[in-house]
Chains A and B, each alone.
Chain A
Amino acid sequence: MIPELAHLALVIAFGVALVQSTLPLAGAARNDAGLIGLASSAAWAQFVLLTFSFGALVHLYMVSDFSILNVYQNSHDSKPMLYKITGTWGNHEGSLLLWVWVLTLFGAALAAFGKSMPATFKARVLAVQGMVTVAFIAFTLFTSNPFERLDPAPLEGTGLNPLLQDPGLAFHPPMLYIGYVGFSITFAFAVAALIEGRVDPSWARWIRPWVLIAWSSLTLGIALGSYWAYYELGWGGWWFWDPVENASFLPWLAGTALLHSIIVVEKRDSLKSWTILLAIFTFGFSLLGTFLVRSGVLTSVHAFAVDPDRGMFILLILAVALVGPLLLFAWRAPQMRASGAFQPISREGALIMNNLLLAAATGVVLLGTLYPLFLELVTGEKISVGPPFFNATFIPLMVPLLLILPIGTLLAWKRGDLRRSLRLMSLAAVAAIALALVAAFTDPRSTIVTALGFALAGWLFGGAVMDLLQRAGIGRSSWARLPARLVSLPGSAYAAAVAHTGVAVTVIGITASSAWQTEVITSMGYGDSQRVAGYNVTLAHVGPVQGPNWIANEGTFEVERDGRHIATLTSDRRHYPVEGTSTTEVGITSNLWRDVYVVIGEQTGDGLYVVRLYHNPLVVWIWLGTLLMAVAAVVSMADRRFRVGAPEPKRAKAAAAPAAPAPQAGS
């Protein structure tokens, strides 16, 4: 009964979404309060219906109801409860339902928090959001019904890909989807603005929290996926420029550009049509990612079971969702007049450079990902575009971006004083040189590139500190008042500094872990020891271990340094009998400065095992940096001026009082 009700709820939600996507538009055009009000109610209704529907699917997974085809194909009674639940979205149909649920979650959030917007505008945003929901519910109902019955019901399911039975990958998709789908709201804002033909600073203020939450989630989602690859795939790599990774990276790059261009719209009422274009394309890239993962048009390790019909359906959604608004854009954009004039050397100018380089990087990643497909269709040649290409083209675009970044944050709006900014940056230059020297003398393997990477990080971090100091009025008021002024800076000022520090931290992590990694590949027997970068690793024991739904051969390793015990690590080769596949679990001991990483491999006969040992210096900094960026976005969102749903008068008061206390970080 439950699956039928859940399916019915989905059908009703489809109807409600149809209403939401049409009537409020008419209402907004005729200024009919009744029809306008319908938008919010419809959004709420959809959220309730989808919560029931998705909740029902989770329930069916929890109780292992194998009369449901989807549960039968992707679950098994012996799985731990956590992976029964997360298995709900470990497959095409279930993950699609999660997509739709997140869509309605954002719709309801907009209905609840969008009070500062004019009612007509809000109705239009919700209507556009409704159209996206219509498309995706239709996709679910017509091609990917998760509630399909199986008669007779089998006694046992076929299990879930063991690679997905891991906490990292269990929560990677929901984070990613909040990011992808969050950009549907900003897309809706852009399209609604095109319908009204009006983009102005207040529009930028309304859209900004939504960009921040989507961007923050996407950042975390990507970081989680990359951390998962690091510890699960078993050779210490964390980014492979795989088409599916690129598909999640494209909306991130475009979203990062959007995050910055919105500031120009908000502060200077310029760059409007470009920002609209970015908002449309950022969601477009989210859809492209969905298309690439689910259509099978490209090969990837991460792809779902593929089906060309589904691919065609998403392609249709992609085409309609982009070409329609872009035609609207072609009509409206020429009428959008920017009001703020500025010199090339200014904050605006720097942000435009930021957008230029990010857009170029997005273009390069897009072209690199799709080029094999294009070439095959045009000339029949079959080529591969892999990490060597992306590293050779992407990094040269990022370096100037990061060089300009801190200088840009120190430039004034309208007309900047480049000399003054560079003078302030001389302190950052000292930090850069210091870090480069540290890098050069810490490890003999350091190259020029290593030193430059560290210098860049020092430059960014120094710039972030100078940015705060400048905002606190360094040089313009007495030193004694500096601490008080620093404390009273708005949250968004700290957010920018923290986010840019996060970039610096990630740059250090990438540079150090790639330059200073030590790898030892060897055969070890019981009691054998092996040195890796000053650590002594001993294979203490190998024996069978029984898990809830797997059996493993587990190696236990003792890690010591200078006779001092550091950690006991286990690494196992797991076999999942239900799924008939194996995975390798690595052993990692991690601290801020290094990871010691052990992987046990095949037995090579005479009591010897293949063992891979890695010493990865500063590798966790890669993900710490991304965490800082994500947290910064949340801090920025908590800034009073943008707080979602903060009523207008209160906001006016906050803006009027210059010494308003900064919101708590992370709140």
Chain B
Amino acid sequence: MRRLLYVLPAVLVAALAFTFAIGLRDRDPSALPSALIDRPLPALDLPAVEGVDLPGWQTADLHGEVMLVNVFASWCPPCRVEHPVLTRLTEVHGVPLIGVNYKDAPEAAAAFLVELGNPYRKIGGDFEGRAGLELGISGVPETFIVDADGHIRFRHAGPVLPEHVEQVFLPLLRELRG
């Protein structure tokens, strides 16, 4: 028994080292999972962005369809990167794309959409960043997959790249659409 006690420190350290080894593998310590998964999309009421030829939106309007909610801004370089990917998703796979224009100048947002094309169905302006807080975002861009009941099923932080579409978005969208 006493002997066992003396072995304890070695065992504890070995266990700790083992834990670290697991912790080091394929883990992003700064990745933050969304607390909103499987929760209803927060109640938002976002006005149209001046100069953009699309209506704003309210959460209540969005029921009945599987869709993507994308938080973007013209000042965010990765948003430019994901823009063609999102465009393809809407054009090829017919997924409705709802925009949240985050802390942007309306004229800059309008120019951004003129330059790159406009894949969005509706765009609400979030000038103060309050909707961003409601959605629990930690940066721009972020994209949410919302099911037909208006529940958030998936959240992607950072730009959506083709491999994300293949590996995550399309399978989940297929499943949600039945």
Within the complex, what minimum Cβ distance (angstroms) separates A121 from chain B? 23
Instruction: Please tell me the size bucket of the interface on A.
Output: 20 to 34
Mask: chain B, 9-30; 1 = CB below 8 Å from A; 0 = not: 1100110010111111101011
Set of chain B residues within 8 Å of A311, measured between Cβ atoms: 20, 24
Does B174 count as interface, using CB distance less than 8 angstroms? no
A303 closest partner in B (C-beta): B29
A291 closest partner in B (C-beta): B20
Asked, given contacts A323-B17, A334-B3, whether A297 binds B23 with beta carbons under 8 Å apart, the answer is yes
Set of chain B residues within 8 Å of A308, measured between Cβ atoms: 24-25
* Beyond A291-B20, A329-B10, A377-B23, 11 extra complex contacts between A and B, CB < 8 Å: A277-B9, A295-B20, A298-B29, A312-B21, A329-B9, A330-B10, A334-B2, A334-B6, A373-B23, A376-B23, A377-B22
Set of chain A residues within 8 Å of B19, measured between Cβ atoms: 373-374, 377
Asked, given contacts A296-B29, A299-B29, A382-B33, whether A315 binds B13 with beta carbons under 8 Å apart, the answer is no
Name 28 A/B residue pairs within 8 A (Cβ), A-sorted: A280-B9, A297-B23, A299-B29, A308-B25, A311-B20, A311-B24, A312-B24, A315-B17, A315-B20, A318-B17, A318-B20, A319-B13, A319-B14, A322-B10, A322-B13, A322-B17, A323-B13, A323-B17, A326-B10, A326-B13, A327-B10, A334-B3, A334-B6, A373-B23, A374-B19, A377-B22, A377-B23, A382-B33
Could you say which of B14, B19, B29 has the most chain A C-beta atoms within 10 Å of its C-beta? B29
Cα(A329)–Cα(B6), bound, Å: 7
Mostly, the B contact residues are helix
* A323→B10 contact, CB < 8 A: yes
In chain A, positions 340-380 with a C-beta closer than 8 Å to chain B are: 373-374, 376-377, 380
Does B92 count as interface, using CB distance less than 8 angstroms? no
Within the complex, what minimum Cβ distance (angstroms) separates B177 from chain A? 28
Within the complex, what minimum Cβ distance (angstroms) separates B151 from chain A? 20
Say which residue of B2, B6, B7, B29 sits within 8 Å of A297 (CB atoms): B29
Does B32 count as interface, using CB distance less than 8 angstroms? yes
Within the complex, what minimum Cβ distance (angstroms) separates B29 from chain A? 5
The 5 nearest A-B residue pairs measured at CB? A326-B10, A319-B17, A330-B6, A330-B7, A322-B13
* B6→A333 contact, CB < 8 A: yes
A318 closest partner in B (C-beta): B17
Asked, given contacts A326-B10, A334-B6, whether A382 binds B32 with beta carbons under 8 Å apart, the answer is yes
Within the complex, what minimum Cβ distance (angstroms) separates B81 from chain A? 20
Mostly, the A contact residues are helix
Set of chain B residues within 8 Å of A326, measured between Cβ atoms: 9-10, 13
Does A284 count as interface, using CB distance less than 8 angstroms? yes
Mask: chain A, 321-341; 1 = CB below 8 Å from B; 0 = not: 011001101100110000000
Mask: chain B, 22-66; 1 = CB below 8 Å from A; 0 = not: 111101011011000000000000000000000000000000000
B26 closest partner in A (C-beta): A308
Set of chain A residues within 8 Å of B27, measured between Cβ atoms: 297, 376
B4 closest partner in A (C-beta): A330
Cα(A377)–Cα(B19), bound, Å: 8
In chain A, positions 272-288 with a C-beta closer than 8 Å to chain B are: 273, 277, 280-281, 284
Set of chain B residues within 8 Å of A329, measured between Cβ atoms: 6, 9-10
In chain A, positions 192-237 with a C-beta closer than 8 Å to chain B are: none
Set of chain B residues within 8 Å of A277, measured between Cβ atoms: 9
A296 closest partner in B (C-beta): B29
Set of chain B residues within 8 Å of A318, measured between Cβ atoms: 17, 20
A309 closest partner in B (C-beta): B24
Within the complex, what minimum Cβ distance (angstroms) separates A290 from chain B? 12
Within the complex, what minimum Cβ distance (angstroms) separates B21 from chain A? 6
* A297→B20 contact, CB < 8 A: yes
Mask: chain B, 99-138; 1 = CB below 8 Å from A; 0 = not: 0000000000000000000000000000000000000000
Within the complex, what minimum Cβ distance (angstroms) separates A263 from chain B? 22
Cα(A420)–Cα(B39), bound, Å: 67
Within the complex, what minimum Cβ distance (angstroms) separates B16 from chain A? 8
Say which residue of A296, A298, A315, A322 sits within 8 Å of B21 (CB atoms): A315
Cα(A296)–Cα(B7), bound, Å: 30
Say which residue of A281, A295, A380 sits within 8 Å of B24 (CB atoms): A295
Within the complex, what minimum Cβ distance (angstroms) separates B170 from chain A? 25
Within the complex, what minimum Cβ distance (angstroms) separates B78 from chain A? 18
Mask: chain A, 246-286; 1 = CB below 8 Å from B; 0 = not: 00000000000000000000000000010001001100100
A273 closest partner in B (C-beta): B6
B32 closest partner in A (C-beta): A382
A311 closest partner in B (C-beta): B24
Cα(A188)–Cα(B10), bound, Å: 17
Set of chain A residues within 8 Å of B24, measured between Cβ atoms: 295, 297, 308, 311-312, 315
* A323→B29 contact, CB < 8 A: no
Set of chain A residues within 8 Å of B17, measured between Cβ atoms: 315, 318-319, 322-323
Mask: chain A, 377-395; 1 = CB below 8 Å from B; 0 = not: 1001010000000000000
Cα(A373)–Cα(B21), bound, Å: 12
Cα(A573)–Cα(B19), bound, Å: 43
Set of chain B residues within 8 Å of A284, measured between Cβ atoms: 13
Cα(A297)–Cα(B7), bound, Å: 27
Within the complex, what minimum Cβ distance (angstroms) separates A117 from chain B? 26
Set of chain B residues within 8 Å of A334, measured between Cβ atoms: 2-3, 6
Set of chain B residues within 8 Å of A291, measured between Cβ atoms: 20
Set of chain B residues within 8 Å of A330, measured between Cβ atoms: 3, 6-7, 9-10
Say which residue of A281, A299, A319, A323 sits within 8 Å of B30 (CB atoms): A299
Set of chain B residues within 8 Å of A273, measured between Cβ atoms: 6
Set of chain A residues within 8 Å of B2, measured between Cβ atoms: 334
Set of chain B residues within 8 Å of A296, measured between Cβ atoms: 29
Set of chain A residues within 8 Å of B14, measured between Cβ atoms: 319, 323
Within the complex, what minimum Cβ distance (angstroms) separates A380 from chain B? 8
Cα(A368)–Cα(B168), bound, Å: 35
Set of chain B residues within 8 Å of A323, measured between Cβ atoms: 10, 13-14, 17
A325 closest partner in B (C-beta): B10
Set of chain B residues within 8 Å of A319, measured between Cβ atoms: 13-14, 17
Within the complex, what minimum Cβ distance (angstroms) separates B103 from chain A? 17
Set of chain B residues within 8 Å of A327, measured between Cβ atoms: 7, 10
Within the complex, what minimum Cβ distance (angstroms) separates A373 from chain B? 5
Cα(A312)–Cα(B3), bound, Å: 31
Set of chain B residues within 8 Å of A297, measured between Cβ atoms: 20, 23-24, 27, 29
Could you say which of B7, B13, B33 has the most chain A C-beta atoms within 10 Å of its C-beta? B13
Cα(A327)–Cα(B14), bound, Å: 11
Within the complex, what minimum Cβ distance (angstroms) separates A600 from chain B? 25
